[in-house]
Each structure stands twice: as structure tokens, then as C-alpha cells.
Amino acid sequence: MAFQKEILFTGAATALVTPFAADGGVDYDAFGKLIDWQIAGGIDALVICGTTGEGSTLTDEEHKECIRFAAEKIAGRVPMIAGTGSNDTEYAYQLSKYACDVGADALLLVSPYYNKATPKGLIKSFLDTADRVNKPIILYNVPSRTGVNIPMSVYRELAKHERIIATKEASGNLSQVAEIAAELSDTLAIYSGNDDQIVPIMSLGGMGVISVLSNVLPRETHDICAKYMAGDVIGSRKLQLDLLKLINSLFIEVNPIPVKTACGLMGLCSDSMRLPLCEMEDKNKAVLIEAMKEAGLLH
């Protein structure tokens, strides 16, 4: 059966870092340059204020301004997806409504974290927002951070909603991804949430990836997806495997510490982060630098 809902994008979306200035605030000049560099590099969509964008330590005002600024800067050149999920469902709705009002093309809603939820609570929480906004929603399943997996019983119910169009699957569980694809392929698009699983998930019908890697290699991450979509499975797989050492080094410490460090080393933006995130351990930074050199990012 053909996919019955809007496909927001195929390919690679960058879960974009949020640059900070010397005074600790958001560096909007660097943010704008990053957005332009990503689009010039061939990226297919941008996710603002997600996990990689340190959305959890932005103030409410900063979170909103980052979304507004990005929507204005992107200006329709690629789809802009705003990270608006929260463990407070009402806050998630309020932030989602704001994002819709200022021009986001879609919302990325992580499952409620810390307080967690039963399957019934997950369904009620996601539908509470979906029923009240007017833009498409991508679910975000990342049990390593939230403490709860979105099970098939929940996916079945949520896929019925006209505005819930996709999931970012970062469970690492390819068997679950296969189940989603087998049962819901006509109503729920799948994006890999892990850079080391782009090709495996696309082989199960995935539409692409929401990526950390593409912060530093937008063209190559796009190409992994584009080659696969064009039928060049061998070329796509080779590029995925050639970049595996760099991918692994970008997760040698909790994301976004390594990728923010990599952006700093490349001169894309400051490598500063907000506590509880902090600078990399020297031994891990050395591994990252070596992987970046092998990938041609540093000399």
C-alpha cells in the first residue's frame, strides 16, 4: 500500500547543535552561519532544539527564539523541524503551538522522560499535542534517555492520527523497526535516530536519518541516504562503513559533547556547552581528533 500521509523529507536531517557565545548566551550569528553551511552542504532538513541542540538546558525564551530565528533564517529552503517535546505534556503543547505559529514545518516530540509513562499515558500525551496543533509530528523514541520504549501497541494507536506522520527510531532495536515497517509502513515513516544504523534502517523501508554526524559531514550523510534511494546500495553501505570510526567517536561520550567539540575544532562554532555537559576527557578527545583526521575534517 502506498504511504498515505505527507512525507516531510527523504534523506538526512541534521539535529543541529546550538552555538553559545562567550557570555553563555546563544550565539545567533554563528547559528545563522551554521544553518547556511548546512543547506549549502546539501542537507535535506534541519532539526532545531533537539537533544543535540541542548534543548533541555535552553531557557524557555531561548528555546522559542532559536525556533523563531531558525524558521526565519531557513526561509523554506529545507524543512525545519522544531524539537518541542517535554516531560510536561502541557508545556510540550504550548511550545509546539509557538513553533507552529512562527513557521516550523513539523515538530519532533520525544516521549516523556524522567516521570516516564505507561503505554496509555504515552498515547494520551502524544495525542494531547497532536489534537491541538496544525503541523505534522515526528515521534522520537530514545529509551536510553527517556527510560521508556514506545512499544508497538502505542505505535499502532498513534499511527492512526493524521498529523503523526513519522518516528525517529533511536531505540537501536532493529527488530522493533522491522515490526513498525511491516505493520505501519503505509501510515508511519521511519527515520534512523542512530548514525551507525542508517543503511540497516533504510533496508527495512526507512526514509533516511535524523543525524548527529551531519553536523560535520552534511554532504556525506546526505549521500549515504541518496545513494541508497537511487539503488546504489553498495555505494551507500561503503560510505556508511567508511565513516563508522568517526560515527563511533562522535558517541564516545554522551551526545552532544563530542560533536560540539568537533564543531569547535573545525571552527564552525564555539565548543562551549552548558552543565551538566562539560569538556571531553583528553583521551577521548584524542580518539575523536584521530577519527576526524582520517575523515579529512582536520589536517
Taking alpha carbons only, the member of 22, 23, 19, 45 closest to residue 34 is: 19
CB 122 within 8 A of CB 154: yes
Asked if 168 is an active-site residue, the reply is yes
CB 258 within 8 A of CB 252: yes
Task: Give the whole-angstrom CA distance, residue 237 versus residue 243.
Answer: 10
Q: Which one of 64, 73, 168, 260 is the catalytic residue? A: 168
The three cell numbers locating residue 157: 494507536
Q: Which one of 140, 155, 191, 228 is the catalytic residue? A: 140
Distance of alpha carbon 210 from the chain centroid: 4
The three cell numbers locating residue 205: 523501508
Task: Give the whole-angstrom CA distance, residue 215 versus residue 228.
Answer: 20
Q: Give the Cβ contact number of residue 265 at 10 Å.
A: 16
Task: Give the whole-angstrom CA distance, residue 20 versus residue 5.
Answer: 37
Q: Give the Cβ contact number of residue 136 at 10 Å.
A: 22
Q: Could you identify the residue written with the cell 536531517? A: 13
b (16+ CB within 10 A) / e for 50-60: bbbbbbbebee
Task: Give the whole-angstrom CA distance, residue 247 versus residue 239.
Answer: 11
Strand partners, 140: 110, 168
Active site residues: 140, 168
